[in-house]
Structure 1
C-alpha cells in the first residue's frame, strides 16, 4: 500500500499470517492487496485534502468507478449534494480524533444511481490519512423504506379525514422514497368512464415538460408501469434539453386498475431507475387499497348525510349544520333564518306524468334553490317535495324576504322535463332566530306552520 507509506507497510506485516512474513515487503503488499480486493466492503484512504489515495477492489462494486478512476478524486464530489454538509462535519470530527464506526451517507455512483453507505472510519495522525471501510447498505435501506412506507400508508388510510388529506399524505410518503419535482394521482371514474386528477403538486418543473395527463391515461388503460427516461421525453417533445424522467404506476385493487400515481424527477437529480420502478410498484398496491378504502368510507358517509336523489344535505346533516349555526349566532349575537318549502300540486305531477318526471323535477328544483343562496347557506331535502333552507348571518328580516322573493322568481320559470314543460309554485314558511325560536325544533315547527298557512291561503 505504497500511498500510505512505510508505516502502513509495517503495520500490515505485523498483522500478516506467518507464511506472509517470509515474503519480501513488496510481495507482502501485493498478497495483502489481492486478499483485500476480495472483500465485499471497500477500504478507502483519504488524505488531509479530502482526496482518495487508495481504494480497494470493493470500491468498484460499490461506487461503480475503478480504483484508478477514484484515486485523486475529491471524496465530497461523489457524495449526494443533500448529504455533503453532514459528511464534511463528520470528516472534521474524525480528523480531530473521534472514531466514527456507524456513519451513514449517500453517494452517487458512476452510473448515476444513489448508493447508501455505512462507514467505519478513523484518522491516522502519524500518516495524516483518514482510513475507512465502506459497506453498501442500499438493499437494507430499500427494505426499511418499503416497510416504513407501508406502515405510513396504512396509518394514513385510517387517520386521514378525507381523500384530499389522504392524497397529500401519500405525496409526503412517496417523496421520502423518490424525491420528485411533481407528483400526481389520477383516478378512473367507473360511472363517467373518465379519468380525473384529484391531486397534483408541482414543485419546480413546469408541467409543459411532459403531458402527464396523457401518460397517466395510458398507464390506467394498459395497467402497466411506464418509465420515461430523459431521452424518451426529449423524443416526445422534439427537443434535447430535458434531464428529467417520468415514472407512472397503476393503482390496482381487487376490482382492477382504479387509477395511476406518477412522479417527475428533479432535473439535477439522477433519473429514475428500474429499482425506483420496483419500489413505487411495491407501495402502489398499498396506496390503491388506502384510496379505495377511503373512497368507500366517504361514499358510505355521503349516503348517510346526503339525499340520494338530489345530492342535497338530508335531515341528519341539516341538524348538524343548524346546531353549529345556532351556536355561532348565540355567541356572536347574529340572526339566522329557516325557510320551509314544499311544491304545490306535486302529487298531481307525480300521478299524471309518472315518478321519473317527478324525480327530474325535484332535481331541477334543488339546483335552482342552491343558485338562490350563498355558498355558506344550506339547502336540504327532508323527503318528498319538502325542502328546508338555512340562511346564516342575516342582518334583517328584509334580507330573508329578498331570498324568498328570489326563490319564487326562480321556480316560476317552466321546467323542461323530457318532452314536458311543467310549471310549479312553492309554498314557503319562514322562521327567524331569535324572534321565532331558540332551538332547531322551535324554528322548524314555526317555519312548517307558516308554510302550511301560506299553502292554505293560495289553494
Structure 2
C-alpha cells in the first residue's frame, strides 16, 4: 500500500533504534521503519496493510484500542506500555508514544522495546517474593504454592511440579504437582527420573522438546509422551548438593520453552532451593520442639496446646471430652533386666499400639518416662473414654517381642471427664493422674515378664 504522504529522511529513520510506525484511521500499518523487524520479528512488507491490533497481546487489546481512539481525538499520549506478540511467539514489552496527524489522517508512533528491562524488573520482584515466601510460608506445601505463583510471573507454568530427593530411600518424590491435562505424577515419574539423573550429573538445567528430540542424547530421547511439547527441568542446588528439581511442561497446545527460559529458571532456582532448605529446617526444628524424639508422639508442650484448644472448643460447642493418664506397670524392671535399648523399643511399641486405639482427631502424647496422656475430643457417649481405656488394656495386653524376649505389658489408666472432673488443663490432668495412681495401688496382679 502506498504511503499517503511523503516521509523525508527515511534513511535516517531506519538508523533509529526505536521503531517508527504509522497507522491509518482504520488501524492498519502504512509504514514501519527498519527497527520494526528487529523488535517484532516481522519485515515491513509482512505488516504493511495489516491491522496493528493483531500484533497486540490479547489481554492488552481492549485497552490499546481505547488509547488509540483517544489519540485520534487529538490527545497525544506519551510512554504508554503494553505487550505485543513477536513473530516467533515471544512476548515483547513495548513503550510507545503517539499522536494523531489530522491533515494526513494517520497515527504516528514511536515504539521502544523495553522487554529486557521488564524481565529484569520481574526477576528482581520474583527474587524478593521468593525470599519473603521463605519467611511467611506456614509449611512446605504453602511454600510450593507460593513458588508456583512466583514462577508464573516469569514464564508459563500451567504444568508445574516440584520433586524432592529422599536421600534415605534414594527416590524422587513429587512434593507438589499441577497438570492442566490431569496427568498424575506417577504417569510422569519415569521422565522426571531421567531428567533428574541428567541434572544431578551435570548440575545444569535440561530442556527437552519434541522438535529436537533426535539431537538429544539417547538417554533423553524417550522423555515425555505424545502430549508433551517441552520439558524443562532445573536442579534445586543447595550447599550439600541437589535436593530436588523444578519441572515445567508444555503441551502441543501450549507455549514452547526456550533457552532463555531455561537460564531464567536456573537463576531463580538457587533462591528457591535456599527457601526450601530454610522451610525444611524450620519444620524440623518445630517438630523437634513439639514431639518426643523416641516415640514421635506430641510432647508435654504440644499436649497442653492441644488440650487448651480442645477445652475452648468443648466450651463453645458444649461438648464432652476426656483425658486419660496412662502409666506402664513395672517398666523399670524392663530397663533393669533387659537394658535401656529394650526399654526404648518397648516405649515405641506402646506408642504405636496406643495410636491404634484412638481416632485420628484424638491425641496420644508422651509426657515423660513411661507416662502417656490421651486426649479424647468431641465425645458423643459419656462412657466412650472407658471404652477406649478397655481397648487400650486389651491391646497393650498382647505379648510383645523384644529381640529374643517376650514381654507382657500391663498398664494403669486414670480418666478425667470435662466438665465433671475439671474445667482447666491442669485440673483435668491432675484428676486423671490421681485416678491412675489409685488404680495402680489397687492393682494386685503383677506384670509377668517371660523369655521367648
Fold in common (TM above 0.5): yes
Superposed CA offset, 1:119-175 (max 9, x none)? 112222322222211111111011101110011111111111222111111111111
State the TM-score, normalized to the length of structure 2.
0.89
SS of the residue 2:229 aligns to? coil
Match for residue 33 of structure 2?
56
Residue 224 of structure 2 is aligned to residue 224 of structure 1 = no
Residue 246 of structure 2 is aligned to residue 252 of structure 1 = no
Tell me by how many angstroms 1:390 deviates: 0.4
SS of the residue 2:123 aligns to? helix
Tell me by how many angstroms 1:243 deviates: 6.5
Match for residue 280 of structure 1?
265
SS of the residue 2:10 aligns to? helix
CA contact (8 A) 2:320 2:377 kept: yes
- Matches for 1:156-305 after TM superposition, within 5 Å: 156-204=133-181, 206-207=183-184, 211=189, 213-215=192-194, 217-218=196-197, 221-222=200-201, 223-231=203-211, 236=222, 242=227, 244-265=229-250, 267-305=252-290
Equivalent of residue 313 in structure 1, options 293, 298, 313 = 298
CA contact (8 A) 2:199 2:205 kept: no
Equivalent of residue 362 in structure 1, options 338, 347, 365 = 347
Q: In the aligned structure 2, how far is the partner of 1:215 from the partner of 1:84? A: 42
**Please, what is the CA RMSD of the aligned residues?**
2.3
Bigger fraction of residues in helix = 1
Superposed CA offset, 1:78-102 (max 9, x none)? 2233333322333233233332222
Q: Which runs of 4+ in 1 moved over 6 A?
A: none
Tell me by how many angstroms 1:271 deviates: 0.8
Match for residue 20 of structure 1?
none
Residue 4 of structure 2 is aligned to residue 5 of structure 1 = yes
| More off after superposition, 33-42 vs 307-316 | 33-42
CA contact (8 A) 2:200 2:235 kept: no
Q: In the aligned structure 2, how far is the partner of 1:220 from the partner of 1:359? A: 42
SS of the residue 1:261 aligns to? strand
Tell me by how many angstroms 1:220 deviates: 5.5
State the TM-score, normalized to the length of structure 1.
0.88
Distance 1:92 1:37, change over 3 A: same
Superposed CA offset, 1:286-323 (max 9, x none)? 11111111111111111111111111110000011111
SS of the residue 1:146 aligns to? helix
Superposed CA offset, 1:363-397 (max 9, x none)? 22212211211111111001221110000112343
Residue 68 of structure 2 is aligned to residue 95 of structure 1 = no
Match for residue 422 of structure 2?
437
**Residue segments in structure 1 that go unaligned for 5+ positions in a row:** 13-31
CA contact (8 A) 1:251 1:257 kept: yes
Tell me by how many angstroms 1:41 deviates: 0.9
Superposed CA offset, 1:405-446 (max 9, x none)? 111222222224444433212211111111111211111111
Superposed CA offset, 1:235-266 (max 9, x none)? 63797x64632212111122221111122236
Match for residue 37 of structure 1?
14
SS of the residue 2:94 aligns to? strand
| More off after superposition, 292-301 vs 216-225 | 216-225
Distance 1:220 1:356, change over 3 A: farther
SS of the residue 2:324 aligns to? strand
CA contact (8 A) 1:210 1:233 kept: no
Q: In the aligned structure 2, how far is the partner of 1:243 from the partner of 1:337? A: 55
CA contact (8 A) 1:216 1:260 kept: no
SS of the residue 1:177 aligns to? coil
Distance 1:36 1:393, change over 3 A: same
SS of the residue 1:180 aligns to? coil
| More off after superposition, 298-307 vs 343-352 | 343-352
Equivalent of residue 78 in structure 1, options 19, 32, 55 = 55
**Residue segments in structure 2 that go unaligned for 5+ positions in a row:** 215-220, 445-452
